[in-house]
Copies of this chain bind each other. A is one copy, B any other.
Amino acid sequence: MGREKFTVGIDYGTESGRAVVVRVRDGEEMGSAIVPYPDGVIDEKLPGGPRLGHDWALQNPRDYLWVVEKGVPKAMKQARVRAEDVIGIGTDFTASSPLPTRRDGTPLCFLPQYRKQPHAWVKLWKHHAAQAEANRINEIGRERNEEFLRVYGGRYSSEWLFSKLLQIVNEAPEIYEATERFIEAADWIVWQLTGQEKRNACTAGYKAMWIKGQGFPSREFFRSLHPRLENVIEQKLGETYYPLGAKAGGLTAFWARKTGLREGTAVAIGNVDAHVAVPACGVVEPGSLVMIMGTSICHLLLGRERQMVEGMCGTVEDGVVPGLWGYEAGQSAVGDIFAWYFEHGVPNSIHREARRLRIPFTEVLERRARDLAPAQSGLLALDWWNGNRSILVDADLSGLLLGMNLSTRAEEIYRALLEATAFGTRQIIEAFESKGLTVKNLVVCGGLPQKNALLMQIFADVTGREIRLAKRLLTCSALGSAMHAAVAAGRAAGGYDNIFQAAERMAHLRRRVYVPRPEAHQIYNQLFREYQILHDYFGRGTNDVMKRLKALRAGGPDAAVKLP
């Protein structure tokens, strides 16, 4: 055996980027560094520029370079690893977060003449100002019976690439004309590091209507959207998309100097942050549902064939690992609901008790909620505080809490909210299984599992499935990128032939298993039936009260009347 080899993984999140240095032999994390984006999420005004509209969310691509420049040397230093032993670099990104650039990759927002134009910047995944454009895309897509609608469970999102591009066309045609390349940040950063514009098939498949073996929708479709878009693919996107784990190129001399790594170090094709976590959870076969649990949950499942599962965010061949279909589903708010409750629903009595016991108030809440039995509170909730992503794909739905009486207590409400998110996941599991896609167990990563053991037990009890936790809960995506880097480097260089080998060696789970308790599961089966009845009643059009309330609300302060 020669010297130990290492790879670098860089995970681009919403607020910061994280670099890790990982040992190829066993996935051990040798060093890591978190680098907050200097401009963060730009959602109020451009730096030195105009105010942004409601629902806008931009980023500065310079911050992505900053993460490489600061983060990689710091992680390397911590790892005490020599540059010549680093065989590859992998990256993953939020998606869809596209930006307009010149032909040479220069972002339009770097150019003085466009700096004050919001449309010249990166539109972050959670930029929600292109809803009208998404509606138009869905309308035309339905009229033309486009295949991509089936891939996306019947609805193309305002968060995705073409919604954002169409918004530019509509609102800033001069920016559209100046755009020579329109590219995912995931691919842009790889371009910067290698000098090669090589785009990844994962982001294209999940966010940009690209289908393996078929490519994009036709020119007629794009022309129907907008005449200027007719030739958008050839002119501004490109038609070649590379599989995950492929090598995009070697690290440029410039970035070798900046990072201290060696020129020519293999750089992997870009990836999506959630998807790259799957092999890092050791999952490269069907049967295990991976859940990245944080403010929301992203669910990923592998399947041997393509099935039309209700409410998928996407169903992409080779989209997660080669040779399998990658199914993506999601719950649009999970940790966000608990955080909302902590901020806006926890009464003084809980805070007083926390001060008395000198523990965080969330711990008081969790202890008391843990002492409750399933069904003991008499409460039931629908977890739609941020709409429903899967399986209803409906942003206009809202939350519901039912069963309160005068002796209802805060910990009971809290527990009902935890349970509701578990019911939401079970609904997704049942959608998979109704199409023959088995979910045998759950594997989780993200910030929530470690913080909330009660939540994990409730998920096990509600779903009736064992849950295991990734060893590296918070750096799962970065590890996944480092694994893909090892694949991009290849066995000859000390890496691996494919992601299956990499997963076997580099991915690890914790020992602790959350096992469903049969009696609790049985009671939750009854509560879940109640959840389903409410889910279908409010979510499938029998009573559209949530939508009507939202519409009335949108009439808002002007339409409505305040007290004198």
List chain A positions with a Cβ less than 8 A from chain B: 333, 336-337, 340, 343-349, 351, 370-380, 385-386, 398-406, 408-410, 454, 457, 517, 519-520, 523, 526-527, 530, 533-534, 537-538, 543, 545-546, 548-550, 552-553, 555-557, 559-563
Do A344 and B557 touch across chains, with their CB atoms under 8 A apart?
Answer: no
Do A549 and B398 touch across chains, with their CB atoms under 8 A apart?
Answer: no
Shortest Cβ distance from A557 into chain B, in angstroms? Answer: 6
Contact of A398 among B402, B457, B530 (CB under 8 A): B402
Do B406 and A376 touch across chains, with their CB atoms under 8 A apart?
Answer: no
Do B371 and A333 touch across chains, with their CB atoms under 8 A apart?
Answer: no
**In the assembly, how many copies of this chain are there?**
2
Do A374 and B549 touch across chains, with their CB atoms under 8 A apart?
Answer: no
Do A375 and B555 touch across chains, with their CB atoms under 8 A apart?
Answer: yes
Contact of A333 among B343, B378, B406 (CB under 8 A): B406
Do B345 and A349 touch across chains, with their CB atoms under 8 A apart?
Answer: no
Do A378 and B523 touch across chains, with their CB atoms under 8 A apart?
Answer: no
Shortest Cβ distance from A385 into chain B, in angstroms? Answer: 5
Contact of A376 among B344, B374, B534, B557 (CB under 8 A): B557
* Chain B residue contacts of A555, Cβ below 8 A: 375
Do B348 and A346 touch across chains, with their CB atoms under 8 A apart?
Answer: yes
- Name the residue in A344, A377, A408 with the highest tally of chain B Cβ atoms < 10 Å from its Cβ: A344
* Chain B residue contacts of A560, Cβ below 8 A: 373-376, 519-520, 523
A562-B373, A563-B370 as given contacts; A344 in contact with B409, CB under 8 Å: yes
A537-B543, A543-B533 as given contacts; A348 in contact with B351, CB under 8 Å: yes
Contact of A344 among B408, B527, B562 (CB under 8 A): B408
Do A345 and B345 touch across chains, with their CB atoms under 8 A apart?
Answer: yes
Do A549 and B379 touch across chains, with their CB atoms under 8 A apart?
Answer: yes
Contact of A520 among B347, B379, B406, B561 (CB under 8 A): B561
* Chain B residue contacts of A457, Cβ below 8 A: 563
* Chain B residue contacts of A527, Cβ below 8 A: 549, 552
Shortest Cβ distance from A176 into chain B, in angstroms? Answer: 32
In the bound assembly, the distance between CA atoms of A541 and B552 in angstroms comes to 28
Question: What are 21 A-B contacts with C-beta separation under 8 Å?
Answer: A343-B347, A345-B410, A346-B347, A347-B347, A370-B563, A374-B561, A375-B552, A378-B398, A378-B553, A379-B549, A386-B406, A398-B402, A399-B402, A400-B403, A401-B401, A403-B546, A519-B560, A523-B561, A530-B545, A537-B537, A537-B543
Do A550 and B378 touch across chains, with their CB atoms under 8 A apart?
Answer: yes
In the bound assembly, the distance between CA atoms of A333 and B545 in angstroms comes to 25
Look across to chain B and name the residue whose beta carbon is closest to the beta carbon of A545: B530
Look across to chain B and name the residue whose beta carbon is closest to the beta carbon of A537: B543
Look across to chain B and name the residue whose beta carbon is closest to the beta carbon of A382: B402
* Chain B residue contacts of A345, Cβ below 8 A: 345, 347, 410
* Chain B residue contacts of A374, Cβ below 8 A: 560-561
Do B400 and A400 touch across chains, with their CB atoms under 8 A apart?
Answer: yes
Do B379 and A405 touch across chains, with their CB atoms under 8 A apart?
Answer: no
Do B526 and A552 touch across chains, with their CB atoms under 8 A apart?
Answer: yes
Do A402 and B523 touch across chains, with their CB atoms under 8 A apart?
Answer: no
Do A530 and B556 touch across chains, with their CB atoms under 8 A apart?
Answer: no
Contact of A549 among B349, B530, B546 (CB under 8 A): B530
Do A401 and B400 touch across chains, with their CB atoms under 8 A apart?
Answer: yes
